[in-house]
Amino acid sequence: MSSSALERPLTVVLLGGGTVGSSVARLLLGNARDIEERVGAPVHLQSVAVRDVDRARPGVPAELLTADAASAAASGADIVVELIGGIEPARTLILSAMAAGSSVVTANKALLAADGATLYEAAARYGVDLYFEAAVAGAIPLLRPLRESLAGDKVTAVLGIVNGTTNYILTRMDEEGADYAQVLADAQALGYAEADPTADVEGFDAAAKAAILAELAFHTRVTLDDVHCEGISHVTADDIRAAQQMGFVIKLLAVAERNDRGVIVRVHPAMLPRDHPLASVRGAFNAVFVEAESAGEVMFYGRGAGGDPTASAVLGDLVTAARNRVSGGRGPGESTYSNLPVLPVGDAITRYYVNLAVADKPGVLASIATAFSDNDVSIQVVRQDGHGDEASLVVRTHLATDADLQRTVQQLKELDTVRQVLGVMRVEGEAGE
């Protein structure tokens, strides 16, 4: 980039001085020479807005700290990096930064999932960049490939493992045959799960990321409210065992899919064949699997969280936004031009696993098969195990709509021959039909 005309330093303001913010500041100061080469101009950290200016932050010079986030955001710096999180005041700060002509880098998944379109529109209106690679799957370069590398293709589906806590729990349940509650307690003790794990284990964190992924992949407006969300707290050791017996592994998946009529976005535990590329994503790792018409299957894998990986993603965005300033342009903006309707989850078409505790008497299988066929759900495999009070029946279906399957389960619950519905789970990632 030595041919660049712009020789003045570029200015950067950080909003937020937590783990990621401090890490970004340190990398920015520590790698200044490399960053200058890559940007084509020096990058100057102007200020870091924090709540408590008196707290020491290793590697961040105290004289850069300010408590006045509003003034810092509106200072007209070349780039404003928002790492405060949450809806407000983050949204107001970002919009005032854009209005002052600053490009914005953010890791704020909550805000993007709630109101991304407002930010995209503001970025277009003010002619500034908005980058947010760190908002989904931490350090994995994912959003930019989705919006740039696949820009000439048509994405049909996105399947992601985008929450490290639940993947850690499910991986340990799979490896140890342990119960959910037991592994969760252990994960909390080790710091892999929060004291209040609700946002992770109930799928809300994954749902926010699913909304962002769907919006980028399909160029249409999707918010958190559009996402059907089920967590992993009902996954049992029995489900894990049944999955293993069938050659599957259970993952919390974020699924965004597009059909002729619109898009469906959902987060729920699902069974995946063990030879699916997502099946080997273990522990706290994240991965996102993309199906596109021409590109075929593409997967991105890496660390989904942590200060340094997230800081790496923020810094990548920052360097790109800075290069755009130097070259006098702006990167590709987001758009929601497709205006596709968001369809109810009942329209989703997948295979299912159903595990039933049944009476041990003749005619059981016939009555159960009838419940499936009454609702247009075709059975692929059925296996009977045990006898007496231990008798159970595991069914795997062919492709069916979620609505038809829910009706089937309702009908199964009312049968005399079914003592209990032990487990129902979607099966994803199987080829063909």
Peptide bond into 58 cis (omega under 30): no
CA distances from 11 to 28, 48, 325 (A): 12, 12, 11
| 78 Cβ contact list (under 8 Å, min separation 6) | 10, 11, 12, 102, 103, 321, 322, 325
CB of 274 to a copy of itself, least distance (A): 10
Q: What are phi and psi of 56, to 5 degrees?
A: -75, 135
**Of 65 and 319, CB closest to a copy of itself:** 319
Burial letters 194-205, b for 16+ CB under 10 A, else e: eeebebbbbbbb
CB of 35 to a copy of itself, least distance (A): 6
CA-based nearest residue to 136, from 116, 153, 119, 122: 116
| 26 Cβ contact list (under 8 Å, min separation 6) | 58, 59, 60
CA-based nearest residue to 426, from 297, 292, 264, 305: 264
CB of 194 to a copy of itself, least distance (A): 22
Instruction: For the chain, report the end-to-end CA distance as a whole number of angstroms.
Output: 51
Alpha-carbon distance 142 to 150, whole Å?
11
CB 193 within 8 A of CB 200: yes
Beta bridge partners of residue 385, listed in sequence order? 392
**Of 27 and 425, CB closest to a copy of itself:** 27
CB of 337 to a copy of itself, least distance (A): 5
Q: Between helices 180-190 and 164-176, what is the axis angle to 10°?
A: 130
**Of 161 and 422, CB closest to a copy of itself:** 161
> What is the C-alpha R_g of the chain?
24
**Of 231 and 331, CB closest to a copy of itself:** 331
**Of 9 and 306, CB closest to a copy of itself:** 306
CB of 283 to a copy of itself, least distance (A): 11
**Of 137 and 243, CB closest to a copy of itself:** 137
CB of 404 to a copy of itself, least distance (A): 32
Catalytic site positions: 209
CB of 78 to a copy of itself, least distance (A): 14
Contact residues: a copy of itself, CB under 8 A: 1-3, 23, 27-28, 31, 34-35, 37-38, 124-125, 127, 133, 139-141, 144-145, 148-154, 219, 275, 277, 280, 282, 287, 292-303, 306, 308-309, 311-320, 323-324, 327-333, 335, 337-338
**Of 219 and 351, CB closest to a copy of itself:** 219
